[in-house]
Chain A
């Protein structure tokens, strides 16, 4: 499916004030259609509040939120919510309904025919990697945490919403399952072209999933940039600290050997026979580890059968310092 199904989400100077504090302070940002925007920031920085203002679980004190140019405050809340997928950390599956009933929630609210619902539910089960034969008729209490999160994602995707809001959806699972769920989310998101707003505490998750990352602090947007730029140019000390002192290393995880400035003038025959052979798709982070582990500290880059040049520690260092 083409990526044109997603909708643009725009925050225009959005503020949410409570009696004793400001939860979100003058937030302005635009998430382009079909992209993933990750909201990160310390506890209490206003991430959840920002998310919930999109589907009007919280009403902003001032400012506007537009989906494809339409002000959400001008829409009927229940109608609006049926067009926005919503996943929360605790998942919130309905304990009294079986998994297939849970997944069918929004299509049922929208009055789809039974055949259409059944077909879509089956499709969703395979989309999130759950075997319908095994899980469809179970109750949520009979699933593991990871399976429940998958079911929650399936439920949110059911009516093919142009926008998905996900509040720490993979918080409660172990790192291995989380990584798998992340890959699945990326695949589904690219497949369906959904625009995703995703809250996490985990900076690695943000870098892995985000087309853009919004760093929040005390209700304010501190920086809004693609992950690479965030790591290369943190806007201030706070962001630098937040992304971690190993941000140089993290950034290497986003760059590939193929994108580095390889030295092709070196004759392959002159290079140590034990030097590691690297593919262009290898991340510079992995390449660095292999270079350091080898005695020659030089890598031979081979794409397909073709020799592309050598990668040296100096080249990697240059990539860390470089701008883009």
Chain B
């Protein structure tokens, strides 16, 4: 940072709107793919756990261990195998979503009241019908709560992937640090935070839409 320079140079911002938009797209894409793929994997593993509770400990152990690896280290460790690629970024990002998503999907399904399950079976739902028509809808609020946390943390983590040539808004942060240029650094951070808040808001709306029975009349 040079002396006498303002914290944010608005002329720089005005001159880089195109690039900001492009980074936004990149950021959204990285995060969306990570949460999407993470959700699919977590969903499968969660169903497995619900059906075979014995698998819960090993699966939790593996995803929990993944979660504890520092993100920077994980990305760097992957470089020898997958290079400075989107794939490297996504493998890391997906890994971090699993723990929270699995926990919430399993918790949501297990939280369905026993009397409701008994009534469903007693009236002649097949196990599959019961899962999709009763357990899933009732687990939805908890599942979406998990997706919210995973989304927020993923959007934050995406910035770290700037180090391996990806990064969305993380690119501004990285460049800002390298050039001691506070404007870029702040633009990158603030945009990332705003994106996270926006995405969270959308998910709250989605949950509201999908679970009308949880609203007071």
Contact = CB atoms under 8 A, between A and B. Distances in A.
Interface in B119-141: 119-126, 129, 134, 137-138
Interface string B187-213: 000000000000000000000000111
Contacts of A79: 124
A93 B119 contact: yes
Contacts of A165: 122
A95 B126 contact: no
Interface string B95-128: 0000000000000000001011011111111100
Given A57-B118, A109-B129, A86 B211 contact: no
Contacts of B211: 96
B124 A94 contact: no
B118 A92 contact: yes
Interface stretch (A134-142, A230-238, A267-275): A134-142
B217 interface: yes
A3 B212 CA distance: 41
A287 B84 CA distance: 95
Contact of B123 (A91, A109, A141): A109
B119 A95 contact: no
Interface in B149-163: none
A6 to B, nearest CB: 19
A132 B184 CA distance: 62
A91 B113 CA distance: 11
A88 interface: yes
Q: Which of A94, A106, A156 has the most CB of B within 10 A?
A: A94
B115 A90 contact: yes
28 contacts: A57-B122, A80-B124, A81-B121, A81-B124, A82-B123, A86-B123, A88-B119, A91-B115, A92-B116, A92-B118, A92-B122, A93-B116, A94-B119, A94-B120, A94-B138, A95-B116, A95-B138, A96-B137, A96-B138, A105-B123, A106-B124, A109-B123, A109-B129, A138-B217, A139-B217, A141-B213, A155-B123, A165-B122
Contacts of B121: 57, 81
B113 to A, nearest CB: 8
Contact of A81 (B115, B122, B134, B217): B122
Interface residues of B, number: 20
Interface string A69-85: 00000000011111000
A97 to B, nearest CB: 8
A170 to B, nearest CB: 16
B217 A86 contact: no
Contacts of B126: 78
Contacts of A78: 124-126
A132 B211 CA distance: 23
Nearest to B138: A96
A55 interface: yes
Q: Which of B121, B122, B137, B138 has the most CB of A within 10 A?
A: B122
A105 to B, nearest CB: 6
Nearest to A106: B123
Q: Which of A55, A92, A142 has the most CB of B within 10 A?
A: A92
Contacts of A82: 123-124
B213 A55 contact: no
A92 B115 contact: yes
Interface in A147-187: 155-156, 165
Contacts of A142: 217
A301 B119 CA distance: 50
A142 B212 CA distance: 12
Nearest to B141: A96
Contacts of A55: 122
Contacts of B213: 95-97, 139, 141
A94 B115 contact: no
A81 B127 CA distance: 13
Contact of B118 (A88, A105, A155): A88
A246 B212 CA distance: 51
Contacts of B212: 139
Given A79-B124, A80-B124, 16 more contacts: A57-B118, A57-B121, A78-B126, A81-B124, A88-B115, A92-B118, A92-B119, A93-B119, A96-B211, A96-B213, A106-B123, A138-B217, A141-B213, A142-B217, A155-B123, A156-B123
A109 B122 CA distance: 12
A59 to B, nearest CB: 13
A88 B122 contact: yes
Nearest to A86: B122
A57 to B, nearest CB: 6
Identify the 5 closest CB pairs spanning chains A and B, nearest first: A92-B119, A82-B124, A90-B115, A81-B124, A92-B115
Given A96-B137, A96-B138, A138-B217, A109 B125 contact: yes
